[in-house]
Amino acid sequence: MITFNLEYFLKLLHALYTHQNKDEKFSRLMTFDDFRKIGLSTKSNGNIQDYFVYHLQMIQNENLVCTFRNNRETRSNKIYFGLTEKGYTMCDALFEKGAREFLLNLGTNVNFAVCQKACLAIASDIIFSETKSAL
């Protein structure tokens, strides 16, 4: 049975948050090839990791956008993944505002819901404190 793995989840989100694809029109979007190249999606034998699918589904609903692009020259389709505004807010809280360290210090009891709520709370406090200081 697959369970939530905070460290893997953080690696996946960090890849989406910091990715720059110079070969593509929309440089912040990732393809399956990009995930494979950084070692997040496949095992050494080339098969898709169960962890990858499970954790990608966790962020898929509100934090991830998925789009298709058809290359007419090669007659191939590519699936692109990128963060939504809510996904960027979550990643900003995690990687810029200290939520990552907070969650890692909580230990093994962290699940996706706890991660989401912590990021929302930290992002909201930052927005509130910035708004308050501007007044």
- Which CA distances in Å does 57 have to 3, 9, 66, 98, 101? 12, 11, 11, 24, 23
Residue 40 carries which DSSP code? S
- Which CA distances in Å does 26 have to 23, 38, 75? 9, 19, 19
Tell me what percent of the residues of the chain surpass a pLDDT of 70.
Answer: 87
Joined together, the tokens standing for residue 68 give 């298709």
What pLDDT is recorded for position 101? 93
Tell me what percent of the residues of the chain surpass a pLDDT of 90.
Answer: 36
Q: Do 13 and 65 meet the contact criterion of CB atoms below 8 Å apart?
A: no
pLDDT band with cut points at 50, 70 and 90 for residue 67: confident
| pLDDT tens digits along 98-111 | 999 999 999 878 99
| pLDDT tens digits along 51-62 | 899 999 988 878
The alpha carbon dihedral of 105, 62, 81, 85 has a sign of negative
What pLDDT is recorded for position 22? 67
Q: Is the pLDDT reported for residue 68 higher than 90?
A: no
Tell me how far apart the alpha carbons of residues 82 and 115 are, in angstroms, rounded to a whole number. 19
Tell me how far apart the alpha carbons of residues 85 and 82 are, in angstroms, rounded to a whole number. 10
Tell me how far apart the alpha carbons of residues 73 and 75 are, in angstroms, rounded to a whole number. 6
- What the chain holds in terms of domains, given with CATH numbers, is 6-134 (1.10.10)
Give the pTM.
Answer: 0.81
